[in-house]
A and B are shown apart, each in its own frame.
Chain A
Amino acid sequence: MSKIMTIGWTEYLSAVRSKAFIIGIIMMPIMMGGSLIAKYLSESNVDLQERKFAILDESDGMYELLEAALEVRNSEIFETVGEKPVQGGMPGLPVLSDGSSDGAGSGSEAEVTWEPGEMQEKRQVKPTFSMERYEHDANETRSPELVLSDRVRSGELFAFLIVGKNVFEPDRKPKDYVNYHSASPTYGDLPKWIKSTIQDEVETSRFQSKNIDPELVKDMKRRVNFDERSLVEETVEGEEIGGEEENDFESYVIPIASVIMLFMLIMMAAPQALNVVLEEKMQKISEVLISAVSPFQLMMGKLVGTVLLSMTLSAVYLGAVVVATHYFEVESMVPGRIYAWFLLFQLMALAIFSSLFAAVGAACSEMRDAQSLITPGMMILMIPMFFLGVVVESPDSTLSVALSLFPPATPMIMMLRVAIEPGPPMWQLILSVVLTVAFTAACIWAAGKVFRIGLLSSGQAPTMKKLIGWVFSK
């Protein structure tokens, strides 16, 4: 045992002292927070280039209606930014007065003044839209579409609109279309705005033509207040609690984030087992080592090193989560049991995948061979990730239960189910742990056999069939 720990500890120290470890620690939050950073960057770098379009209006008055709506829209593309002066609190946040800072209104909400001060400025956050009317010259031999398309191609216009003659007609008639032409089909803001504005104007006009008050219709079509709420529970004091509005963050983000984090932690540590074993083999260190320890001890030592490495990463990230939830006073969002299950599943997944990876490392003599031989292992590791959406949607479906009881997928899928309220029944949890522990033991046993034979093999990488033969050899 002490030899295993000696190898594990040496392995661990070599890993954490490397630059790759430091980079890895920083990379994961960057990858996970990448979308947030991209969003932040895109907000501060919005494309504000003016979008000009032409209208060939064959209808009765669509141009004027759009022109009026455009004026309103262009006045709403600014937002006030900067710090707002607030008394006695964090800038930008309204605060409750404790009654000591100002004599008046003790115990009541403090008056928050939002006067635009010197620190505020108006900033344009959306591009301006502009429009021009197109009148088709009777002497022009080309069609209006072609003329306008050429102007778009020359960069003079961004897009153009052909409004059919009968667009306002309440009954179906020919020429009741609106065609939007542009060379930038991926730009959605302009066509979206035009479409909704025209839809509103046309609906209003149609109601009016049938003597229906559009305001009345709007009232009638008012959306029902539909809230998703949690169950209500009775406390021992007889008080009813719960029934709060469901929080998307708690329902989706925490389960998904915990599984992605689990996946990343395994991806960061398990391939390490392959790399170190293969490197030792390539540098002819392996035989020196097995003159001091048995191949099984060597493999277990590598496994311990990988677990220590991954647990260190885990301690850093979970520690950050604990600190963050404590700081923002939302500890209840991530209950203690989630941390406990996370660590247990992490341990089991590491044991399964690190032993397999170490065995592949021992069986190969070149990195290229190892990479192709490890592909099935990587697939098994990744498959649960493809099912995250399905399991989040219905965590108790037959598929979800079956996946979570399939040992290679258990760590990820069961972690997901545990993180979604109310969690799986206890018998499923216990069964999944028993099955995964048994599977882990089988993996370590099989990997040990491959490791022992593979370590002294040289030359061509073994085929999958040969590897299986090694597992069942004497």
Chain B
Amino acid sequence: MNAVRLSGVTKNYGAHRAVDSLDLSIPTGSVYGFIGPNGSGKTTTIRMILHIIHPDQGEIEVLGRKETRASNDRIGYLPEERGMYKKMSVKRLLTYYGTLKGMSKRDARRVGVEWMEKLGLEAWIDKKVEALSKGMAQKVQFISTVISAPELVILDEPFSGLDPVNLEVLRAAILELRESGSTVIFSTHDMTMAEQMCDSIFMIYRGKKVLDGTVASVRASYRADTIRLKLSGGRSVLEGLQGIDSVNDMGHIQEVRFSGDSQELLQRLMAVTAVNHFEITEPSLHNIFIRIASPEPEDVAHV
């Protein structure tokens, strides 16, 4: 059973094709990550799933129905660009959003307080929104999205700007939603987070789907052509060596895309420096992302 199904969905903004013939199925109860560079069509896809904007072509089915809208009480949506009424108290704000999602005032107030306690914000419930820090405000926004226990939760960049402590709190809360049976879709630029949390990944680039599947299957689809190195001599040792297609320098560790005999490379390196770490591996999601989304030579030439 799919919570969301898109088939042949296309959306144009004037001459610009934002989403191009997109097919996508998101199983119920899964955590699905949307990745892709800025402006690649993530938010447009999310807005179409929510019927905030309509596709020019194709069909979208959400929670078994074709006309399910964002305003449906079974969906919770946290948009990327979000604001709150600064002068309202947190309690009043959560009650307001809860009632807009069809809850009674009393239930909205009760569940709001429960979530505030769960996310360690109970002391702030009577404070005005303008008194909250950025991280706190983001957590309150998350609560406003999930207060009505929706079956489908769509979070556009939920982790942006969060410190590691708050990030962990929010991650735990999202995973708890999955435990309770909700389907969670979230978009992110944090590949590590996507890799750790998502059952499946969908990547969109220039309006087209370029990756779709479980993290393991996505990574396995790339050959084990990556060698992770830790060299005493640093990156400079790698310069001029044959067979090295690209080097991703992460400071103390370098990831090398290598075509040729890896044992030969190891020997050549050992001849010039001490090799502290040598690992033949599949590319990380981060690397795959960069490989897909890096500007092609002709793009660079045009800049």
Q: Do A and B come from one complex?
A: yes
For residue A300, give the distance in angstroms from its CB to the closest CB of chain B.
Answer: 13
Interface residues on B, range: 20 to 34
Known: A287-B82, A291-B79, A292-B71. Is A6-B100 also a contact (CB below 8 A)?
yes
Which chain A residue shows the least CB distance to B154? A291
We find that the number of chain A residues with CB closer than 8 angstroms to chain B is 20
**A residues in contact with B78, CB < 8 Å:** 288, 291
Interface contact B83-A293, CB-CB below 8 Å? no
Interface contact A284-B54, CB-CB below 8 Å? no
Which chain B residue shows the least CB distance to A280? B83
B40 at the interface (CB under 8 A from A): no
A210 at the interface (CB under 8 A from B): no
**A residues in contact with B125, CB < 8 Å:** none
For residue A275, give the distance in angstroms from its CB to the closest CB of chain B.
Answer: 14
A285 at the interface (CB under 8 A from B): yes
Query: A283, A288, A456: which has the most chain B beta carbons within 10 Å?
Result: A288
Interface contact B53-A456, CB-CB below 8 Å? yes
Interface contact A6-B96, CB-CB below 8 Å? yes
Within the complex, which residue of A10, A284, A292 is in contact with B82, where a contact is CB–CB below 8 Å?
A284
A429 at the interface (CB under 8 A from B): no
**A residues in contact with B47, CB < 8 Å:** 456
- Give chain A interface residues in 413-472, CB to chain B under 8 Å: 456
Q: How far is the CA of A297 from the CA of B86 in the complex (A)?
A: 22
For residue A294, give the distance in angstroms from its CB to the closest CB of chain B.
Answer: 5
**A residues in contact with B53, CB < 8 Å:** 456
- Give chain A interface residues in 263-316, CB to chain B under 8 Å: 280, 283-285, 287-294, 297
Interface contact B84-A294, CB-CB below 8 Å? no
**A residues in contact with B69, CB < 8 Å:** 294
B41 at the interface (CB under 8 A from A): no
Known: A6-B99, A6-B100. Is A288-B144 also a contact (CB below 8 A)?
yes
B205 at the interface (CB under 8 A from A): no
**A residues in contact with B87, CB < 8 Å:** 14
Interface contact A288-B71, CB-CB below 8 Å? no
Chain A interface SS verdict (over half): helix
Known: A290-B52, A291-B70. Is A284-B83 also a contact (CB below 8 A)?
yes
- Give chain B interface residues in 76-93, CB to chain A under 8 Å: 76-79, 81-87
Interface contact B83-A288, CB-CB below 8 Å? yes
**B residues in contact with A14, CB < 8 Å:** 87
Which chain A residue shows the least CB distance to B69? A294
Which chain A residue shows the least CB distance to B144? A288
For residue B52, give the distance in angstroms from its CB to the closest CB of chain A.
Answer: 6
**A residues in contact with B75, CB < 8 Å:** 291
Q: How far is the CA of A457 from the CA of B75 in the complex (A)?
A: 23
A474 at the interface (CB under 8 A from B): yes
Which chain B residue shows the least CB distance to A301? B100
Q: How far is the CA of A293 from the CA of B51 in the complex (A)?
A: 12
**B residues in contact with A373, CB < 8 Å:** none
Within the complex, which residue of A10, A285, A290, A456 is in contact with B71, where a contact is CB–CB below 8 Å?
A290
B11 at the interface (CB under 8 A from A): no
- Give chain B interface residues in 36-61, CB to chain A under 8 Å: 47, 50, 52-54
**B residues in contact with A292, CB < 8 Å:** 70-71, 97, 100-101
**A residues in contact with B81, CB < 8 Å:** 284, 287
A7 at the interface (CB under 8 A from B): yes
Known: A291-B70, A292-B71, A293-B100. Is A285-B76 also a contact (CB below 8 A)?
no
Interface contact B77-A291, CB-CB below 8 Å? yes
Q: How far is the CA of A287 from the CA of B53 in the complex (A)?
A: 12
**A residues in contact with B188, CB < 8 Å:** none
For residue A12, give the distance in angstroms from its CB to the closest CB of chain B.
Answer: 13
Which chain B residue shows the least CB distance to A474? B54
B10 at the interface (CB under 8 A from A): no
**B residues in contact with A289, CB < 8 Å:** 100
Q: How far is the CA of A280 from the CA of B54 in the complex (A)?
A: 23
**B residues in contact with A284, CB < 8 Å:** 79, 81-83
Which chain B residue shows the least CB distance to A283? B83
Query: B83, B84, B87: which has the most chain A beta carbons within 10 Å?
Result: B83
For residue B193, give the distance in angstroms from its CB to the closest CB of chain A.
Answer: 22
A51 at the interface (CB under 8 A from B): no
Which chain B residue shows the least CB distance to A452? B52
Q: How far is the CA of A295 from the CA of B22 in the complex (A)?
A: 26
Q: How far is the CA of A280 from the CA of B82 in the complex (A)?
A: 10
A3 at the interface (CB under 8 A from B): yes
- Give chain B interface residues in 242-262, CB to chain A under 8 Å: none
Q: How far is the CA of A193 from the CA of B79 in the complex (A)?
A: 77
Residue interface bits B218-255, CB-to-A below 8 A is 1, else 0: 00000000000000000000000000000000000000
B182 at the interface (CB under 8 A from A): no
For residue A63, give the distance in angstroms from its CB to the closest CB of chain B.
Answer: 75
Q: How far is the CA of A294 from the CA of B101 in the complex (A)?
A: 11
Interface contact B96-A10, CB-CB below 8 Å? yes
**A residues in contact with B82, CB < 8 Å:** 284-285, 287-288
Kindly list 5 other residue pairs between chains A and B, CB separation below 8 angstroms, not including A284-B83, A288-B83. A287-B79, A288-B97, A290-B52, A292-B101, A474-B54
- 16 A-B Cβ contacts within 8 A? A6-B96, A14-B87, A283-B85, A284-B79, A284-B82, A284-B83, A288-B78, A288-B144, A289-B100, A290-B71, A291-B75, A291-B76, A292-B97, A292-B100, A297-B71, A456-B47
Please list the 7 inter-chain residue pairs (A to B) with the smallest Cβ-Cβ separation, ordered nearest first. Answer: A284-B83, A291-B77, A283-B83, A292-B100, A287-B79, A284-B81, A285-B83
